[in-house]
Structure 1
Amino acid sequence: MQAARERAAARGHEPGVRRPGAKPALGRAQNPRRRRWSGPGVDERDPQPLGRLASRMATQLGWSDRLANGQVFGQWTRLVGEEVAEHAQPVALKEGELTVRASSTAWATQLRLLQRQLLAKIAAGVGHGVVKRMRIQGPTAPSWRKGPRHVPGRGPRDTYG
């Protein structure tokens, strides 16, 4: 190494000074404005896990509330249990009020009794404040009202037999 330096000095080259058109030495950047390697420490340019990037993007774009609402519908069976999920389906979630439709009036009554426990399970699974109250509906009965005009009265009762 010393011999190479002596030969370069004999030719008129000074150490540390580059000739025009010469390639840069290893480890030096070609363009001073170019970004350098991030190094061993943590840097924002380092690769990030996809989940962290997605949650950061959802927060920045204001999607967090909608994603939390979607989790209630997407994870309904896991949140409330298989038996309840068989007989009750979430219909709407607006301003913290979850509307649930039951398969029968008996299940609607049962859900009203279990409402406090269901709210606790949903809060534990999705987060507090996403669902604040539940509105439970029974099954919808068929409407016998047809057309724009209607005659008041009892309507059809036992007309099938």
Structure 2
Amino acid sequence: MPEPEPEIPETIATYLRLRGLEPSARRKRRKRRTGDDEAQPFMPGRDPQGIGDVLGALTRDSGWNPHLAREDLVRRWDEVAGAETARHTHPVDLTDGTLTIKCDSTAWAKQLQLIRAHVLTEILRRFPEAGVENLRFLGPDVPSWKWGTRAVPGRGPRDTYG
């Protein structure tokens, strides 16, 4: 059985507790936090953040920024190409850094080929994370006599029309 501690006068016990020489009963009950700096008040990073900052960090950490930039490019095509051009064209595919744009007519496709550098510069300036490296302009669908990946050069079945 442990020996009972001798009784210390209250004034000396208070003095010892204040100097930290003797643990107080209150100190024994309180748990001490260690290592979790984010839970401490007045530490860096504890300030409230706006919803835009939180969502921006989430998309960046999740790796969604390139996908969202591509979607923004398609959604804002009229701002990139201009309102008149956007009425006659629309992006249809982005594969391996090549953005394919479908045009209403071959004249629009040719016109856009002439200003390809300007359109590409505007895309890179506004949407650098989209990954666009090249542009491809397609005219309207026209019937083709070629079938498959291999074709013989020449006029083909039109030879017998005469």
TM-score range, shorter chain: 0.5 to 0.7
Structure 1 match to 2:33: 33
Q: Distance in 1 between matches of 2:25 and 2:58?
A: 48
Structure 2 residue runs without a partner (length 5+): 1-9, 146-155
Question: Which structure 2 residues correspond to residues 9-24 of structure 1 after superposition, within 5 A?
Answer: 14=14, 16=18, 18-19=24-25
Q: Distance in 2 between matches of 1:19 and 1:60?
A: 46
Q: How does the TM-score come out when normalised to structure 1? A: 0.64
The number of residues matched between the two structures is: 131
Structure 1 match to 2:76: 75
Q: How does the TM-score come out when normalised to structure 2? A: 0.64
CA contact under 8 A between 1:108 and 1:138: conserved in structure 2?
Answer: yes
% same residue: 30
Question: Which structure 2 residues correspond to residues 10-159 of structure 1 after superposition, within 5 A?
Answer: 14=14, 16=18, 18-19=24-25, 30-33=30-33, 37-39=40-42, 43-127=44-128, 130-141=131-142, 153-154=157-158
More helix by share: 2
SS of alignment partner, residue 44 of structure 1 = coil
Q: Distance in 2 between matches of 1:129 and 1:90?
A: 13
Q: Distance in 1 between matches of 2:129 and 2:31?
A: 52
Output the amino acid matched with 1:94: T
| 1:114, distance to aligned residue in structure 2 (A) | 1.3
CA contact under 8 A between 1:38 and 1:46: conserved in structure 2?
Answer: no
Root-mean-square deviation (CA, aligned residues, Å) is 3.3
Structure 2 match to 1:147: none
Q: Distance in 2 between matches of 1:126 and 1:91?
A: 17
